[in-house]
Amino acid sequence: MNILILLVGSNPLPNYIVAEYLRQERAESAILPKPDQTILVHSKATKRFAEQISKQLSIQSEYVDLKENEREPSVIVKGIRNKLDGLTEADDISTIHLNYTGGTKPMSLYANIAVNEWIGKKRKKDKIRVILSDIDPKNHKIVLREKPDYPLDGDLLNHVKPDIKTILDLHGMRTDKDSLGQKISCFSLEITDQFVKQAIGEAKKKGKIIPQELVEKLNIQIRGRADEQKERNLERNSDKLNDLIEKAKNSFPYLTEDFEKRKNIIHCPNLSFIKFLKEGGWLEDFVLNTLIRLKASSRTGLHEIRKNVRPSYKQRETELDVIAIRGYKLFLISCTRDSGIKTVKEKAFEAIYRAEQLGGEHAKAIIVSLMCNRAMRGNPSSQDNNLEELEKDFKQFDAARNCRLIGIDELQGECEGKGTLSQKLRNIILGVE
């Protein structure tokens, strides 16, 4: 019997990565055997993560519940030793693989002590091979005491590719078909490009792209925190809104024909149209389309891209503008039409928190805004409101490590056919900045 012991911490993704990789058919299975039994060591706070790991892997795991004693040495040692005692009744143990990527530091230390004490007590040092491992977040490999690191061919990103739903489910976040967002933009690639080119120009000149009066009327009619509330208000005020939507369409006549063609494949098309105009949905669509093109034309390794993902936890919904996944590495892209440093900074810290919550230290937050990349002569507002100033602020909080900023220069360059946004995103995704 080959046993895998995983220490479950506040992020279950590393545990999932190790377990999913080890159960695959691999050339190095003699060194890293496929587990016959998995033991999940968890606390009261991480019990739900442990259960989700088993569920997403479709395995029947054994559990060591430390309750609220995840830092108590005697509880950790006793729990693991008792669990190993129970398993020996079923079969002889050949290997015990302890991966200490998750969990607390005391859990890592005393789990190791527990395994070695148990083997010594059973007098099986010559019969049981102990494997200690960790995931290197930079190289995306399983690191053992001695080289080489695994996998030998490529890295873990090539072998473990959970979809967005799996990652959200691992964290106990509720999703359904609608809350998983969309893989397509509200408008076709060409129309979105045309609109964004106009929007970027208008934003630089006026700071807005549609009449303020129309924005205020739309705000009144579709008030609500969650999309479900907004959809209900749309139905309740459909007559008034239809007139407003028609006025909006008349402001951008080239959108109307394309919208009519696509509205049957867009969830709640009128709300999507309003969000496209009013809430910066056009910027999300532009980023989405750029990623779709990147996925098709270059070796980025992206395997899933979605926008407007709306998972909920404990009946509280959160909206994630754009998510892209390469292997198990999550890129959370937050888009804002704002160009003020205060608002962009707030969006950035929220995105950093969400990215780390869902993807751990492997994840990256990317903030796309209309902020100037640097102070511009003749633009007084840009003297304090620019990405260079924001990056200085981030360095004080160590926020720059997992956050990247994209401004109006990259957006404008992409509109002009220079590929500036594409290249920036590609470099971030591949880690070659």
State pLDDT tens for residues 44-71: 999 999 999 999 999 999 999 999 999 9
CA nearest to 134, candidates 30, 18, 54: 18
Lowest model confidence (mean pLDDT) among 34-38, 167-171, 337-341? 337-341
Between these two residues, 125 and 322, which has the higher pLDDT value?
A: 322
Both 231 and 255 in a single domain? Answer: yes
Confidence grade of residue 281 (pLDDT, cut at 50, 70, 90): confident
Do the domain assignments include residue 59? yes
Say whether both 257 and 302 belong to one domain. no
Q: Are residues 259 and 350 in the same domain?
A: no
Same domain, 144 and 51: yes
**CB contact burial 257-290 (16+ within 10 A = b; e otherwise):** ebbeebeeebebbbbbbbbbbbbbbbbbbbbbbb
- Among 279, 305, 334, the domain-final residue is 279
Please indicate, yes or no, if residue 166 is contained in any of the structural domains.
no
Q: What is the mean pLDDT of residues 418-427?
A: 95
The residue with greater pLDDT, 308 or 305, is: 305
- What's the domain count of the chain? 3
User: Does residue 344 have a pLDDT over 60?
Assistant: yes
Domain end position, chosen among 262, 279, 296: 279
- Structural domain range at position 108: 2-160
Specify the pLDDT at position 402. 86
Q: Is-contact 22 151, C-beta < 8 A? A: no
Note whether residue 185 is domain-resident: no
Please say if the pLDDT value at position 207 is more than 90.
no
What CATH number is given to the structural domain containing 124?
3.40.50.10770
pLDDT at 302: 94
User: Is the pLDDT score of 274 beyond 90?
Assistant: no
Examine residue 165 and state whether it is found in any structural domain, yes or no: no
**Residues 294 and 347 both lie in one domain:** yes
Using the predicted structure, report yes or no on whether residue 346 has a pLDDT greater than 70: yes
The Cα 270–Cα 276 span in angstroms is 10
How do residues 58-105 score in pLDDT, each as one tens digit?
999 999 999 999 999 999 999 999 999 988 765 689 999 999 998 889
* Residues 23 and 138 occupy one common structural domain: yes
What average pLDDT does the segment 297-322 reach?
Answer: 86
Q: Is residue 186 part of a domain?
A: no
**In this structure, is residue 177 part of a structural domain?**
no
pLDDT, mean of residues 11-28: 95
What share of the chain has pLDDT > 90, as a percent? Answer: 50
- Report how far residue 429's alpha carbon sits from residue 261's, in angstroms, rounded to the nearest whole number: 33
Residue 421 lies in a domain: yes
Is 390 found in the same domain as 289? yes
Exposure string over 159-176, b if 16+ CB within 10 A, otherwise e: bbbbebbbbbbbbebebe
Query: Within this chain, do residues 300 and 202 fall inside the same structural domain, yes or no?
Result: no
> What residues have CB less than 8 Å from 275, skipping those under 6 apart?
186, 281, 308
Q: What three-state secondary structure class fits 33?
A: coil
- Mean pLDDT, all residues of the chain: 85
Query: Where among 247, 263, 279 does a domain terminate?
Result: 279
- CATH number for the domain spanning 369: value is 3.40.1350.10
Amino acid at 424: K
Does 275 share its domain with 287? no
The CA-atom distances, in angstroms, between 136 and each of 17, 27, 133, 411 are 12, 20, 10, 34
Which pair of tokens denotes residue 132?
């200690």
Q: What share of the chain in percent tops pLDDT 70? A: 82
The candidate with the shortest Cα–Cα distance to 337, out of 196, 180, 194, is 196
Tokens of 151: 């996998």
Which residue, among 364, 54, 300, 18, has the nearest Cα to 160 in the 3D structure?
18
pLDDT of amino acid 282: 83
How does pLDDT run across 129-138, given as a tens digit for each residue? Answer: 999 999 998 8
User: What's the mean pLDDT in 221-248?
Assistant: 64
| Global pTM value | 0.84
